């Protein structure tokens, strides 16, 4: 096994490899071109019986792994949502792995718990969340939202489902829209509500929830003897970055005593800029909130920041104290009781490193720059004869489609845009992703990479032009 000296030697070499990798990352195509099974076929069928040297292992790592990665830190990664990292964050993760502690309880590492409390309080203030709200780091927004759903489920049944199951609660309802992230329905299914108890409220022409439709539906459901349990309002949907009208929704939830969870998983990082905190109007009437620092706040995955107004229902929902987990102090935070998993990584450390190394002003500037980059693309699209903006652009996300002068059916337009997208991705310089909204296939551009520069945007503009020409030629459409 690796000696301490070898650990130093290979540790240094791997730090340098990471620096080199990130420097030369544009030599790789953004999205892996590996064929299915290509890696598996090259690896042995069994673990080696005798240990191998780190020299051999590191050589194999370099030989096999990067080729099959989709390079999320490549500046041309503009697909899905980013998971942007930073040097400070990687160092925080390294030290967390090095000390190898478990942040399940206060006793199992007081400084991990107290650092988490501290950085979550820093983020609460910096993000314009109300005084008194408490935060906890979860792995993903899926987990954060499930935490909210379970807490709401228990609160609205006076903790009866935890105790006795759904026997008397078959009519609990969850409200969201068709544009809400799929993890909400997945969470509601896991929590036992059933997909047909997830009510998709109609949206307006910006794909945002219609508050009037929400209230009408709640009233109808109440009259039908059903029980509204939780509303999920999204600030920045995954498809088109639509913003549900939080204030109106919050007022309704407050009126009917319904838990309001706010999913700002992606867009929440922008609220560190005061000029975008207006999206949070009404948050004081909400109950819980999530944003992922691992998406757009330079903190490598995973780091989902979940906040609650009142942590008592949360803890009541998840707390349990078996005999083998003794506590030495009563008045300290036990994060194991703030969600589903018992074991917890020391994720506060990387967040502390990022918040201090960037400073709030550094994060503000970096995020503002990303939004300005999206504006560069937006100006190009707006002045272009055939590229069209689809859905209102917000922050650093743009949804676009190419609509040539000739008349095409929806299906033909979808095919054309799908071919354009593939053409762009095949350049290896950019990785964009598409989605389908109102049966129309659209191309999404997200300007959120840590190492993105203005030059990349100019290259992207040329690539968009070229890909559209090439796809039209391929499909024999006059561009």
Chain residues 326-385 in contact with a copy of itself, contact rule CB under 8 A:
326, 329, 331-332, 340-343, 345, 349, 352-353, 355-362
The tokens for 262 are 């706010």
Contact pick of 14, 213, 461, 479 for a copy of itself (by CB under 8 A): 14
Contact pick of 76, 135, 187, 393 for a copy of itself (by CB under 8 A): 187
| CA angle in degrees (0–180, nearest 5) for 105-107-110 | 90
Contact pick of 29, 30, 54, 279 for a copy of itself (by CB under 8 A): 54
Helix (H) or strand (E) holding 466: helix 454-474
Interstrand relation of 227-234 and 198-200 (parallel, antiparallel or unpaired): unpaired
Contact pick of 186, 200, 368, 386 for a copy of itself (by CB under 8 A): 186
Q: What is the rounded CA–CA span in Å between residue 79 and residue 276?
A: 23
Using the rule CB under 8 A, give the single segment among 183-191, 223-231, 282-290, 401-409 that binds a copy of itself: 183-191
x-or-dash pattern for a copy of itself, window 418-457, by CB under 8 A? ---------------xxxxx------x-------------
x-or-dash pattern for a copy of itself, window 288-307, by CB under 8 A? ------x-----xxx-----
Q: What is the rounded CA–CA span in Å between residue 62 and residue 50?
A: 21
Q: Which residues contact 96 (CB under 8 A, 6 or more apart)?
A: 345, 346, 347, 349, 350
x-or-dash pattern for a copy of itself, window 232-271, by CB under 8 A? ------xx--------------------------------
Residue 94, exposed/middle/buried by CB under 10 A (0-12, 13-18, 19+)?
middle
The tokens for 327 are 């506590």
Looking at residues 380 to 419 of the shown chain, list those that interact with a copy of itself (rule: CB under 8 A).
Answer: none
Q: Identify which of residues 38 and 473 has a Cβ nearer to a copy of itself in the complex.
A: 38
Three-state SS for 217-261 is HHHHHHHCCCEEEEEEEEECCCCCCCECCHHHHHHHHHHHCCEEE
Smallest distance from a copy of itself to CB 379, Å? 25
Looking at residues 79 to 138 of the shown chain, list those that interact with a copy of itself (rule: CB under 8 A).
Answer: 80, 83, 85-91, 93-95, 97-102, 106-112, 114-115, 117-119, 121-123, 125-126
Contact pick of 29, 185, 266, 371 for a copy of itself (by CB under 8 A): 185
Smallest distance from a copy of itself to CB 99, Å? 6
Which candidate, 309, 283, 351, places its Cα nearest to that of 116? 351
48 scored as a contact of a copy of itself (CB under 8 A): yes
CB 320 within 8 A of CB 63: no
């Amino acid at each position: 096994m690796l000696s301490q000296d070898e650990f130093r030697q290979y540790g240094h070499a791997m730090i340098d490899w990471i620096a080199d990798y990130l420097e030369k990352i544009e030599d790789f195509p953004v999205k892996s071109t590996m064929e299915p099974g290509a890696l598996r076929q090259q690896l042995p069928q069994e673990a080696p019986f005798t240990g191998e040297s780190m020299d051999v292992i590191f050589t194999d790592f370099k030989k096999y792994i990067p080729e099959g990665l989709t390079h999320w830190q490549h500046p041309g990664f503009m697909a899905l949502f980013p998971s942007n990292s930073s040097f400070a964050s990687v160092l925080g993760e390294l030290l967390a792995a090095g000390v190898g502690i478990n942040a399940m309880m206060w006793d199992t590492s007081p400084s991990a718990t107290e650092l988490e409390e501290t950085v979550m309080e820093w983020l609460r203030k910096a993000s314009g969340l109300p005084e008194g709200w408490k935060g906890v780091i979860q792995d993903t927004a899926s987990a954060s939202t499930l935490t909210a759903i379970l807490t709401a489920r228990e609160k609205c049944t006076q903790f009866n489902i935890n105790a006795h199951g759904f026997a008397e609660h078959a009519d609990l309802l969850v409200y969201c829209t068709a544009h809400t992230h799929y993890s909400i329905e997945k969470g509601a299914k896991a929590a036992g509500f059933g997909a047909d108890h997830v009510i998709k409220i109609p949206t307006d022409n910006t794909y945002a929830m219609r508050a009037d439709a929400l209230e009408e539906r709640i009233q109808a459901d109440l009259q039908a003897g059903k029980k509204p349990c939780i509303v999920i309002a999204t600030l920045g949907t995954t498809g088109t970055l639509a913003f549900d009208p939080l204030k109106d929704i919050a007022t309704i939830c407050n009126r009917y005593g319904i838990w309001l969870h706010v999913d700002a998983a992606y867009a929440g990082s922008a609220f560190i800029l005061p000029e975008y905190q207006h999206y949070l109007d009404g948050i004081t009437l909400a109950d819980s909130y999530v944003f992922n620092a691992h998406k757009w706040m330079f903190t490598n995955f995973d780091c989902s920041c979940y906040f609650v107004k009142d942590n008592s229902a949360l803890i009541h929902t998840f707390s349990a104290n078996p005999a083998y987990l003794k506590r030495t102090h009563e008045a300290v935070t036990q994060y194991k009781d703030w969600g589903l998993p018992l074991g917890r990584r020391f994720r506060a450390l990387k967040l502390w490193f990022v918040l201090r190394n960037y400073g709030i002003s550094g994060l503000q500037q970096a995020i503002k720059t990303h939004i300005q980059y999206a504006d560069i693309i937006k100006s190009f699209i707006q002045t272009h004869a055939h590229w069209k903006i689809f859905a209102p652009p917000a922050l650093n996300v743009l949804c676009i489609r190419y609509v040539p002068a000739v008349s095409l059916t929806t299906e033909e337009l979808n095919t054309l845009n799908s071919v354009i997208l593939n053409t762009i991705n095949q350049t290896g310089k950019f990785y964009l992703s598409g989605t389908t909204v109102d049966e129309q296939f659209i191309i999404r551009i997200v300007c959120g990479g840590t190492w993105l520069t203005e030059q990349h945007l100019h290259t992207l503009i040329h690539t968009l032009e070229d890909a559209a020409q090439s796809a039209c030629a391929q499909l024999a459409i006059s561009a």
